[in-house]
Each structure stands twice: as structure tokens, then as C-alpha cells.
Amino acid sequence: MAQVLQVVINGILLGGIYALLGVGMTMMFGIVKLTNLAHGEFVIIGSYASTLIAQAIGVDPILTLVVTVPLMFLIGMGLQSGLINRVMMIGSEPALLVTFGLSIILADALLLLFSADAQRANVPYNISSIKISAGLSISVLDLIVFCIALVTIIILSLFLKKTYLGRSIRATSDDTEAASLMGVNVKRTYAIAMGIAMATAAIAGLCVAMKWVYYPSSGGSYLLTSFGVVVIGGMGSIPGTLVAGLILGLAQVIGGANYGQLIAYVLMVVFLAVRPQGLFSK
């Protein structure tokens, strides 16, 4: 029984970071109607930024969010306003190709700057754990990462539901033309959505850097995980990303190192076949 509980706990904690990886992707899917193929690279940029800042000034990597989150938000807004919005006027396919090109450029730039060496943000509580009972414990790092993911998703959900800007973002997601007629600046809303997606990528990058070893080429695997979260949770659903992340986390822990990824991808294919709109999509 203790072993089963341990597997469930590990799966839930892993699911938190998966949900965080998918939040930015589902924002872009649901609001901008854009598949951001550079999302994985943005996550890795967040990982490098947090690691380098923490090493340079000697602080806990979590504190680097004070710098990385607003910085990535501004970069995202500038990227959407200056490049992607212009391309989207032609059509969604050119915008998709632009994000694909960005992913290649960013991956190569990271490789050029940092070489292919493995990186990780070292934290003192990396190997610490909280013992609950005989045979049952919780990793301190995993618990912290899960709390960061949960707080991020809750704040983002409240922002979209309770603030005027959040309601304008939701209105743009529901009906672009109607929102425009009601005075919403659609292009500015798209830029803010991209900024939020980039900010969540910075937070996800921090969690990735603390939990796993990463490389300049690691973005592709996190992009696939984000796709899985969006497919299962539903396009544009923030609560759906949390549920989908937990499902994928449990599936991977149950499958273990050999079959975890396979089970996760099979689940994604099943959802595409049975319920392509996801669990929580409208």
C-alpha cells in the first residue's frame, strides 16, 4: 500500500511541472490561435537565465524569477508585436513557420553560446526529503516545484477571471471580431498573451533547471510534453492544464523509465481519437 501511495505522490508532484510547461502553450493556442513551436526553446532560455543569474550573484534560483519573469514578459510582447502579429496578417501558416524558424535559431544560438555541456541549477535541498511514514516520503525539491506550479496556475486563472484585462483576453479568445467591435485592441491583447506565455515559460524553465539536467537541444522534448498537456486538458483551459499535467505525471511514474513516455504518448493519441477537444475545452 505504501508503494502505491508513493507512486501516486510522485506522479502528482511530477504532474505539477508538466502542467506548468503546458500553460504557456495553451494560452497561445486558446487566445492567439497559434501553435508556438518555439515554446520549448523559451523554456530552456528560462532555465539558462535562472541558472546563470543564480550562479553570478549567489542566490537561490527561485529568487531569479524577480528578473526572468518580467524580462521574458517584455521579450514576448516585443516578439509578438514586432514580428508575429505582422506575419499573422498574411495567415496562420506563415506565423507557424516563423515560430518553427525561431525554435531552430534559438536552439542553435544556445548551442553556440553554452556548448553542448549539461547544465543544472544546484539547490541545497536537491536531495532532501520529508519522511511521512515507513516507506513513504516526499522530495522537498519536488514539493517546492509543485507549489510553484500550483501558485502560478491559480494566479493566472484568477487574473483571467477577475481583472478587466483578463476578461478582454477571454473575450478575444471567444470571438475576435466581437471583442474588436467592443473596443478591445486585439493586437495588443495578442502581445500580452504572448508575454504571459513567455513569463510562464521562464517559471517552467526555473523548475526544469532545478529538477533535471538540461541541454541547448532539450526544448523539443518539453514542447512535446506541452502538446500532450494541451491535447488532454483542452485548448485554452488553464484548469485543464493542471488536470492533464497530473494525468501525464501519473502515467509516466506508473510506466517507469522504460514505458512512462510511451504510455504518455499513447494517452495523447487516444485523446486525439476519442475527445480531440480535450477534457475541459469549450
Q: What is the CATH number for 153?
A: 1.10.3470
Kindly state whether residue 244 falls inside one of the protein's structural domains.
yes
Residue 196 lies in a domain: yes
pLDDT of 126 > 90? The answer is: no
Q: In this structure, is residue 259 part of a structural domain?
A: yes
Q: pTM to 2 decimals?
A: 0.94
279 lies in some domain: no
* Amino acid, res. 146: F
Q: 79 is written with which cell numbers?
A: 516578439
pLDDT given at position 43: 97
Place of cell 514505458: 259
- Nearest Cα neighbor of 36 from 44, 28, 48 is 28
What pLDDT sits at residue 248? 93
Residue 280 domain flag: no
Domain that holds residue 9: 2-274
pLDDT beyond 60 at 11: yes
pLDDT value, residue 184: 85
| Distance (Å) of CA 212 to CA 59, 115, 205 | 19, 18, 10
Name the residue type at position 74.
L
Match 486563472 to its residue by C-alpha cell.
157
Rounded CA-CA distance 269/267 in Å is 5
pLDDT of residue 121: 92
Q: Is the pLDDT of residue 282 over 70?
A: no
Burial class from Cβ neighbours inside 10 Å (0-12, 13-18, 19+) for residue 221 reads middle
Query: Tens of pLDDT along 238-258?
Result: 889 999 999 999 999 988 877
Sequence-separated (6 or more) residues with CB below 8 Å from residue 134? 2
Q: What crossing angle do the helices spanning 39-57 and 186-211 adopt, rounded to 10°?
A: 60
Asked if residue 281 belongs to a domain, the reply is no
Which comes out higher in pLDDT, residue 60 or 2? 60
**Which whole number is the average pLDDT over 89-107?**
90
Per the structure, the count of domains in the chain is: 1
**Residue 151 within a domain:** yes
> What are the pLDDT digits (tens) for 128-176?
888 887 778 899 999 999 999 999 999 999 999 989 888 888 888 888 8
Instruction: Please indicate whether residue 203 or residue 6 has the higher confidence score (pLDDT).
Output: 203
Lowest mean pLDDT: which of 88-92, 100-104, 191-195?
88-92
Res. 261: pLDDT tops 60:
yes
- Is 203 within 8 Å of 69 (Cβ atoms)? yes
Pairing outcome for strands 136-139 and 129-133? antiparallel
Nearest C-alpha neighbor of 48 from the set 64, 63, 35, 60: 64
pLDDT tens digits, one per residue of 172-226: 888 888 888 788 888 899 999 999 999 999 999 999 999 999 999 999 999 999 9
- The answer to the question of residue 86 being in a domain is yes
What is the reported pLDDT for 89? 80
- What is the tens place of the pLDDT at every residue in 18-74? 999 999 999 888 888 888 999 999 999 999 999 999 999 999 999 999 999 999 999
Across 108-129, average pLDDT: 91
